């Protein structure tokens, strides 16, 4: 299928476009069948070959939304402008303040309480003993599940230096 669309030719911060006819699978700056005009969006100046554009559209070429809107504005095609499809930014989750303003109650998160028997401990690095220099020494401590009847106050053992 042939497409009528823009191919950018301008410099950085100075856009200029060629209106080209090309296969829809080809990149916009790639090989084209015909050049049907040019467009300068900063000055809003379009130089178009109206008879060629009408001829190719009659043969089945499809104009892109932007090119179609330019043709409608220039009076080459009669009709309404098309809405240009642009990607919408992803919606951010609603904040707590907006939910409370909407009249809805914000459910409080349940408070989790654990007893000593339910608590599971994982290996952790804990400063437990001090060295002669006064700085704490970090050691790997292996922990296991603790049963309430086994809980005893243990005193740290001092190492000989």
Q: What is the pLDDT of residue 87?
A: 72
Domain assignment present for 54: yes
**In Å, what is the CA distance from 49 to each residue of 16, 30, 61?**
17, 20, 15
Reading the block at residue 49, the tokens are 């070959």
Quote the domain boundaries for residue 40: 2-74
Reading the block at residue 17, the tokens are 């476009």
Domain assignment present for 106: no
Domain assignment present for 104: no
Number of domain units in the chain:
1
Q: What is the pLDDT of residue 127?
A: 47
Q: What is the pLDDT of residue 158?
A: 67
Beta bridge partners of 16: none
The CATH number of whichever domain residue 47 belongs to comes to 3.30.1320.10
Going residue by residue through the chain, which has 161 residues, state the pLDDT in tens, using 9 for 90 and above. Answer: 999 999 999 899 999 999 999 999 988 888 889 999 999 999 999 999 999 999 999 999 999 999 999 999 999 998 898 887 777 677 776 665 555 455 555 556 666 665 555 555 544 454 454 455 555 555 555 555 656 665 555 556 666 66
pTM above 0.75, yes or no: no
End-to-end CA distance of the chain: 85
Q: What is the pLDDT of residue 35?
A: 94
């Amino acid at each position: 299928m042939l497409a009528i669309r823009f191919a950018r030719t301008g410099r950085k911060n100075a856009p200029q476009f060629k209106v080209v006819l090309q296969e829809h699978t080809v990149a916009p700056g790639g090989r084209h069948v015909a050049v049907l005009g040019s467009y300068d969006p900063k000055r809003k100046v379009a130089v178009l070959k109206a008879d060629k554009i009408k001829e190719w559209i009659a043969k089945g070429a499809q104009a892109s939304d932007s090119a179609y809107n330019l043709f409608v504005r220039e009076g080459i095609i009669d009709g309404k402008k098309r809405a240009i499809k642009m990607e919408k930014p992803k919606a951010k989750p609603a904040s707590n303040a907006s939910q409370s303003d909407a009249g809805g109650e914000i459910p409080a998160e349940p408070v989790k309480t654990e007893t000593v028997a339910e608590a599971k401990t994982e290996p952790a690095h804990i400063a437990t003993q001090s060295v002669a220099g006064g700085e704490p020494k970090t050691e790997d401590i292996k922990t296991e599940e603790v049963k309430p009847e086994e809980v005893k106050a243990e005193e740290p053992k001092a190492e000989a230096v």
